[in-house]
Amino acid sequence: MTIENTEELLLNMGPQHPSMHGLFRMVVNLEGETVTKIEPKIGYLHRGMEKLAESRTYAQFIPYTDRLDYLASPHNNWAYVQTVEKLMGVEIPERAEYLRVIFGELARIASHQVCIASTALDMAGWSAWSYAFRDRERICDMYEMTAGSRLTVNIMRIGGIIEPPAEFWPALKSFLDDTPEMLDEYNGIFFGNEIAQGRLKSVGILTKELAENLSITGPVLRASGVNYDVRKAEPYSIYDRFDFNVPVRYGCDSYDRTIIRMDEIVESIKIIKQAVRDIPEGPVMAKVPKVIKPPVGEVYHRVENPKGELGFYIVSDGTTKPARVRIRPATFINLQMLPIVSLGWKIQDVVAIFATLDAVLGEVDK
């Protein structure tokens, strides 16, 4: 008996699949277990955010931004309200800026914890997943104290932020004190594990050139050896006042893309500690008119979201509603690398590579 022509297996992963974060679908061509072609299909979570903004007032759109990257909702609020403030030329109080930094960095820690957890879970590291989620709960508790909700917090206002209650500060302090121990635990249960390192190291190489050409941003870019962070490159808010490093790694592989988030958590803690030390007393809301009517014009503003560069482009026609809103989501653009980088790897590795991108489909599909 002779073997006739072999055929590639066309496998449809998603949109309902255990390791597709949210509603992502990829059509995979398989030669045995090896991936020969990947075609990402997105849009299952498309809600038309940009169009929705046109029929909402400026303030009404803030809760919608929560639903973009729902793992770091304060960042989305922040990027949007800062863009509107830039358009209106509003100066916001010192205390509000510090609070925004504190909540932004807390959100960064929470988002990175989810990334570490879900990477571990996509490789069946169940305990590592629950360790990271256990610690993230404490950040959610702090959100809840302040804003009343745990995930989509809607914490920022045009011209300021919510003042956290008195019990927020001891909770924050105890969280900051416990973080070195948490990071040790993640290292012990996941990053130090021989199998995990074998699964991640030198897998899914994203070269520096490719990363730059695809305009990839955030930790994924920095793990490919490019020192670029909007907080340093174009300091917004009060980031120029803090002493922190931008972690850069040169491995370009899945392992570095994951562990760089551990380094970023350390840096975020440094920033929060400085902010808590320096935060002044005072009001948390600037004097903004009741009805927000920015002058005619257009503005683009970008911030460093936990996943990369998040930008808002707003065109105002002088009415209470924006004429056009355009969102530049980080993971939508980072996701381009998946079909290129995953070629030739096993299907297991593709799952791990996808996890290290930390894609949130709310942001990809808008």
Q: Which is nearer to other proteins, 131 or 312 (CB)?
A: 131
Q: What is the distance between the alpha carbons of residues 17 and 40, in angstroms, rounded to a whole number?
A: 14
> Which one of 42-50, 90-98, 124-132, 248-256 is the stretch in contact with other proteins (CB under 8 A)?
124-132
| Three-class SS state of 100 | helix
Minimum CB separation of residue 306 from other proteins in Å reads: 23
User: Does the protein bind other proteins through residue 149 (CB under 8 A)?
Assistant: no
Amino acid at 134: R
Looking at 121, 156, 230, 271, which residue binds other proteins (CB under 8 A)?
Answer: 121
User: Does the protein bind other proteins through residue 199 (CB under 8 A)?
Assistant: yes
Give the chain's end-to-end CA distance (angstroms, integer).
54
Cross-strand partners of 308 = 305
- Which runs of E-coded beta strand occur in 155-269? 156-157, 160-161
Minimum CB separation of residue 127 from other proteins in Å reads: 4
Nearest to 315 by CA among 297, 342, 301: 297
> Which one of 6-14, 270-278, 308-316, 332-340 is the stretch in contact with other proteins (CB under 8 A)?
6-14
Q: Which is nearer to other proteins, 138 or 301 (CB)?
A: 138
Looking at 62, 101, 107, 120, which residue binds other proteins (CB under 8 A)?
Answer: 120
110 class by beta-carbon count within 10 Å (0-12 exposed, 13-18 middle, 19+ buried): buried
Q: What is the distance between the alpha carbons of residues 262 and 265, in angstroms, rounded to a whole number?
A: 5
Q: How many other β-carbons are positioned within 10 Å of the β-carbon of residue 250? A: 12
349 class by beta-carbon count within 10 Å (0-12 exposed, 13-18 middle, 19+ buried): buried
Looking at 8, 126, 174, 213, which residue binds other proteins (CB under 8 A)?
Answer: 126
Q: What is the distance between the alpha carbons of residues 96 and 98, in angstroms, rounded to a whole number?
A: 5
Q: Which is nearer to other proteins, 124 or 233 (CB)?
A: 124
Site for other proteins in 221-280 (CB under 8 A): none
Q: How crowded is the C-beta side of 3, counted as CA atoms within 13 Å?
A: 3
Q: What is the distance between the alpha carbons of residues 84 and 230, in angstroms, rounded to a whole number?
A: 18
User: Does the protein bind other proteins through residue 117 (CB under 8 A)?
Assistant: no
Contact between 106 and 74 (Cβ < 8 Å): yes
Minimum CB separation of residue 39 from other proteins in Å reads: 16
Site for other proteins in 20-49 (CB under 8 A): 30, 33
User: Does the protein bind other proteins through residue 9 (CB under 8 A)?
Assistant: yes
Binding-site size, other proteins (CB under 8 A): 33
Q: What is the distance between the alpha carbons of residues 183 and 132, in angstroms, rounded to a whole number?
A: 9
Minimum CB separation of residue 195 from other proteins in Å reads: 5
User: Does the protein bind other proteins through residue 347 (CB under 8 A)?
Assistant: yes
Q: Which is nearer to other proteins, 30 or 299 (CB)?
A: 30
Distance from CA of residue 318 to its chain's centroid?
32
Looking at 267, 349, 358, 365, which residue binds other proteins (CB under 8 A)?
Answer: 349
| Three-class SS state of 118 | helix
User: Does the protein bind other proteins through residue 358 (CB under 8 A)?
Assistant: no
> Which one of 12-20, 297-305, 309-317, 333-341 is the stretch in contact with other proteins (CB under 8 A)?
12-20
Looking at 2, 4, 7, 18, which residue binds other proteins (CB under 8 A)?
Answer: 18
Q: Which is nearer to other proteins, 76 or 258 (CB)?
A: 258
For other proteins, the binding residues (CB under 8 A) are: 9, 11-12, 17-19, 30, 33, 120-131, 134, 189-190, 193, 195-196, 198-199, 346-349, 351
